[in-house]
Amino acid sequence: MHFRNRSRQGFGIIELLVVIAIIAFLIALLVPAVQKVREAAARSQSQNNLKQQVLAFHNYHDSFRQLPFNGSDVAIGNVKYSKAAKKEDFRSGSWAFQILPFIEQNGVFLKVDRTAAISIYLSPARNRPTVETSNGGGAWTDYFYNHYLNDPRNAEKPDTADAKRTFAGITDGNSNTIMLGEGNISTKQYQAAADVTLSTNIFGGGTFGTARAGKNGAQSPKGVTLQRDSDKAPGPGSWGGPFPGGANMALCDGSVRFVSYSVPEATLSGLVTPAGGEVLQLD
């Protein structure tokens, strides 16, 4: 009589545990790498968003011989302004409303469409609701205007009159002055659709919901910070964003730079003032 050796089928418990442990180890190695790729992609998209916005500022300047500003109800001579956005009115709303025709959003500008989401105004790393439901409703922005650009001596008043700033009036140099940048909001409010601290929709100008600035001072601004989003509420001078290491900033020359959170305070102050006379070295 002959006995046929039966081949062993399946795995034993110990072998299965070893395989599971190996898979878990590989996943542990993969997850940080995938997260870094996603973070790099979101950061790159955010830089592209800012690039489109700063180019719109340049096109606006070419058309009107001045830069957009943050919005105000203050009249200059016989020219009336409105903090509330009005149809086809470039002297109304926030800076982000004023440049809509230059970012291919002319329909939103003409209709004052408060239902439309505008993707280039939103940071992909925050994944916020696209439209605010308070303050009249409308698209809001994760990017903020440097309010020192309009009037450094009254920067802490967000509804100051239009100073009709031009590129020629930025005596510190366009490559040394922030135009727009990522601004802090609280991580606790990422998913909120209303009442987000210092973040408001683009149809209402004259607030720090669309701008950032510290206290008055053309040459020595106070209260200007650059830090990563946290669970704390931001202040009027709080720049920063969701990315580790630094935040994206668009300079007046059209370039977009990733500025480290460790940037010296004096350098940051120099970057927000358009005529402070500082000589800067930004790595």
pLDDT tens readout for residues 147-182: 999 988 888 999 999 999 999 999 999 999 999 999
DSSP category for residue 5? P
pLDDT of residue 202: 98
Q: Is residue 255, in this structure, part of any structural domain at all? A: yes
Q: Is residue 3, in this structure, part of any structural domain at all? A: no
pLDDT of residue 26: 73
Q: Is residue 7, in this structure, part of any structural domain at all? A: no
Dihedral, 142, 143, 146, 147 alpha carbons, nearest 10 = -50
Residue 34 lies in domain = 14-272
Residues of the chain with pLDDT under 70: 1-11, 30-34, 37, 217-219, 281-283
Q: Is residue 4, in this structure, part of any structural domain at all? A: no
Q: Count of domains in the chain? A: 1
Q: Is residue 280, in this structure, part of any structural domain at all? A: no
Residues contacting residue 147 through CB under 8 Å, at least 6 positions apart: 70, 155, 158, 160, 208, 211, 212, 213
pLDDT of residue 78: 86
pLDDT of residue 33: 58
Beta strands 143-146 and 211-212 are parallel
- What is the number of alpha carbons within 13 Å of residue 115 lying toward its C-beta? 1
Measuring CA to CA, how many Å separate 240 from each of 3, 90, 148, 263?
A: 76, 28, 17, 12
Share of the chain above pLDDT 90, in %: 73
pLDDT of residue 266: 87
Residues contacting residue 155 through CB under 8 Å, at least 6 positions apart: 147, 148, 213, 214, 215, 216, 217, 221
Residues contacting residue 60 through CB under 8 Å, at least 6 positions apart: 67, 68, 98, 99, 102
At residue 244, φ and ψ (nearest 5 deg) are -70, 145
Q: Is residue 169, in this structure, part of any structural domain at all? A: yes
Measuring CA to CA, how many Å separate 203 from each of 40, 95, 141, 171, 235?
A: 31, 9, 11, 31, 21
Long-range contacts of 115-118 (CB under 8 A, 24+ apart): 118/202
Q: Report which of 97, 94, 125 is spatially closest to residue 111, judged by C-alpha positions.
A: 97
What's the pLDDT tens digit per position in 46-74?
999 999 999 999 999 999 999 999 999 99
Q: Is residue 166, in this structure, part of any structural domain at all? A: yes
Q: Is residue 170, in this structure, part of any structural domain at all? A: yes
DSSP category for residue 6? P
pLDDT of residue 276: 79
Question: Helix/strand/coil (H, E, C) string of 138-197?
Answer: EEECCEEEEHHHCCHHHCCCCCCCCCCCCHHHCCCCHHHCEEEEEECCCHHHCCCCCCCC
